[in-house]
Amino acid sequence: MDIKAFSNILLEIFYIMVGLFFILTMMFTLKDKNHKTKYGTALFWGILGVIFILGEFIPPVISGLLIVVIGVLAAFNQINIGTIKQLDSTFASLKANKIGIKIFIPSLIIALVALLIAQFTPISGVAAVGIAAIMALIVTFIITKAKPTEFLEDSNRMFQSVGATAILPQLLAALGALFTAAGVGDIISSMISSVIPEGNILVGITAYCVGMALFTAIMGNAFAAFSVITVGIGVPFVFAQGADPIMASALAMTAGFCGTLLTPMAANFNVLPVALLETKDKNAVIKAQAIFAIVLLAIHIPLMYFLAF
């Protein structure tokens, strides 16, 4: 078995594991007698679970129809948080004091192990993240001495707190692919060409960086925005002027991340923390990040100008 096939098998295993967590949330929802929209919410989690577990075998048209059903459920406000077991604040404080700084070890393990596997083995980067997450979970059990039932209850609480935004990153990534296939990049290029003076490197770089940030803010995903903006602005107005494509692409991607800090569309960054921390101001995270995002975006322009040329 070659390494690519092995990586794909690992990915399928991880997808199935995620799908099982969605099914678990569906079961918790169905058992909730006080949930006002439990059938719609359970259907949402059930559909997600089926897609993640059996996605390899489901025809694309069927998967698309299931996504439409999810959209309808969200549009009619049928996906809501139910009655979930709340964490006792006293117990949490005692645990936090006992564990101390060791609580950060699992997070560091995810980053470190994923980096090492991706850099020094032929296993794909995505599969490396999955392996790292499993290792971090094991270490979490060792550090906290938590029971499996507590792990399942906390998983359910997290998924329900996130709600419909759990699927937003996948939808936005798919949207980026659709935009590219539909030729949106070419349309953007034709529009920008009438504004940017031919051969002006600085203006081209500015348009590339700002375009990445704005399109990422609209789509909520820098990876989805990258293909569209690079085709529409990067290639004709930056790469064609002699820029190092590797350096320019890397800086364009991080410029896009500045847009990630400014938008609620980036649910996993800006909505998830608000939901988990139960913050009253839904835009608190974005407000705290905004000034840093704008400053970083401004810094990207001279960086690309001097490093990519």
Report helix angle 168-181 to 222-229, nearest 10. 10
In a domain? residue 152: no
Kindly state whether residues 109 and 177 are assigned to the same domain: no
Out of 82, 105, 133, a domain closes at: 82
Please check whether residue 283 lies inside any domain of the structure: yes
- Residue 157 predicted with pLDDT over 90: no
In a domain, 117, yes or no: yes
The last residue of a domain, from among 51, 67, 82: 82
Domain-located, residue 160: no
In the prediction, which pLDDT does 91 show? 65
Treating both helix axes as pointing N-terminal to C-terminal, what angle do 201-219 and 245-260 enclose, rounded to 10 degrees? Answer: 40
Which pLDDT does position 88 carry in this prediction? Answer: 65
Same domain, 71 and 189: no
The reply to whether 92 and 52 lie within a common domain is no
Q: Are 270 and 263 in contact (CB under 8 A)?
A: yes
Indicate if the pLDDT at residue 258 is higher than 90.
yes
Task: Report the alpha-carbon distance of residue 1 to residue 19 in Å, rounded.
Answer: 26
Q: What average pLDDT does the structure give for the chain?
A: 85
* 158 in a structural domain: no
Amino acid at 171: L
Q: 102 and 36 share a domain? A: no
pLDDT at 179: 76
What is the CB-side half-sphere exposure of residue 224 using CA atoms within 13 A? 24
**What is the model's pLDDT at position 79?**
83
Sign of the CA dihedral 217, 194, 188, 203?
negative
Pair 206, 261 in one domain: yes
How confident is the model at residue 257, as a pLDDT? 92
Among residues 53, 82, 111, the one where a domain terminates is 82
User: Domain total for the chain?
Assistant: 3
pLDDT at 281: 81
Query: For residues 270 and 119, what is the distance between their CA atoms, to the nearest angstrom?
Result: 29
Contact present, 264 and 271 (Cβ < 8 Å): yes
In a domain, 162, yes or no: no
Instruction: Judge contact between 197 and 203, C-beta under 8 A.
Output: yes
Provide the residue range defining the domain that includes 246.
169-307
pLDDT for res 74: 84
Q: Tell me the whole-structure pTM to 2 decimals.
A: 0.74
Structural domain contains residue 154: no
Q: Is residue 236 part of a domain?
A: yes
